[in-house]
Amino acid sequence: MSWCEFIDSTQAVSVDWTGSMVGTRVYKVWDYSRTLILTNPSSIIGGPSGIESLPTINSSWEGMKLDRYDVSPGPGNVFVVQGMYSTDGRFTNFSGPNYDEPQWQVSFQTVPMPFVYATPVTSAVALGDGAQLLSYNYEPKEKTVGAKMVRYSRRIDLEQADYDQAVFAVGLENNSLHLIGGKVYLFEASDIIPKGGGKFYTNYSWIYDRGWLSSHLVRNPNTAISYPLDLQYFNGAAPYAGAIWTRPPFHHVIPYFDQTNAPGPVAIPPKYDAVCELERRDIGWTNLPGAF
């Protein structure tokens, strides 16, 4: 078995602003090359039964045809593969935004973000005979870490006929997470402004958050054993599968400390909740007039 589908949160179907159906399915593929995934998906065997081929281009799903695959590298020999479906073939030659076009702007931001981490502490507990027993535990400390973001912005010119759809779509998609080219972006919109003659303009922005890969360790002061951060995902499922994160993209990390340790040589490392308060709308960008 060399592929499986992320079924819980990545199958998405919608009707876009033109009335056409669009959809995505996302797979994890391992032990095969990127070239083979793109050129001969039928040779990749796996799926629920272990003997199914990866869906081929032009195969049907939910009344749509598979137009193309976008392949992004994951950890090790794993690829994240996004299948892009439509009823009108719009993704057949789709390559994502063309940043060579003059209306695209790219900016780089470092956003200050508080990060709470664990620091080991040792305390002495007095015993009845005058002796002391050392107790080991962890306490929360906070520091500010710069989160590196990349913002892709584009001015969009709208006709009167697109105005109502743009107002609806921007209101629906603003501050949502979109999956484009196998990567997750946060969509942000600006005001829709009239420019005369029944025409309007606005700006669409997509923000890419790199997250922080796991490099922060907490240490038991007695045994000198390092513990990686133990992330417990708020929704019960780990996004961005395969990577070990200190902070997954678009997540806040909140530690939970066990305050019930009895005095003694063992300290329990804290667990961390990774919380994302943003709605995931993978193909929501297809609702936006003029997006790509």
DSSP string of 181-216, one letter each residue: TTEEEEEEE---EEEETTEEEEEEEEEEE--EES--
Digitized pLDDT (tens) for each residue of the chain, 292 residues in all: 688 887 654 456 766 656 678 888 888 888 888 888 888 888 889 888 888 899 999 999 888 999 888 887 766 678 888 888 888 887 776 555 554 555 678 888 888 877 776 676 777 777 777 777 777 777 777 777 778 889 989 888 888 888 888 888 888 899 999 988 778 899 998 888 887 778 888 889 999 988 876 654 444 333 333 444 555 555 444 555 555 667 778 887 777 765 555 455 556 666 777 778 888 888 888 888 887 6
What six digits make up the tokens of 28? Answer: 């994890």
Neighbouring CB atoms inside 10 A of 70's CB total: 21
Q: What is the pLDDT of residue 208?
A: 92
DSSP classification of residue 51 = -
DSSP per-residue string spanning 67-129: EEEEEEE-STTEEEEEEEEESS-TTTT--S--TTSTTEEEEEEEEEEEEEEEEEEEEEEE-TT
Q: What is the pLDDT of residue 223?
A: 38
Based on the number of CB atoms within 10 Å of its own CB, is 13 exposed (0-12), middle (13-18) or buried (19 or more)?
middle
CA 85 vs CA 21, 113, 153, 177, 284: distances in Å: 8, 37, 25, 19, 14
Q: What is the pLDDT of residue 154?
A: 86
Chain centroid to Cα 118, Å, comes to 25
What is the rounded distance in angstroms from the CA atom of residue 157 to the CA atom of residue 199?
7
Which helix (H) or strand (E) segment holds residue 132: the answer is strand 132-159
Q: What is the pLDDT of residue 176?
A: 92
DSSP classification of residue 35 = H
What is the rounded distance in angstroms from the CA atom of residue 163 to the CA atom of residue 201?
10
Q: What is the DSSP pairing of strand 279-280 with strand 176-180?
A: parallel
* Global pTM value: 0.58
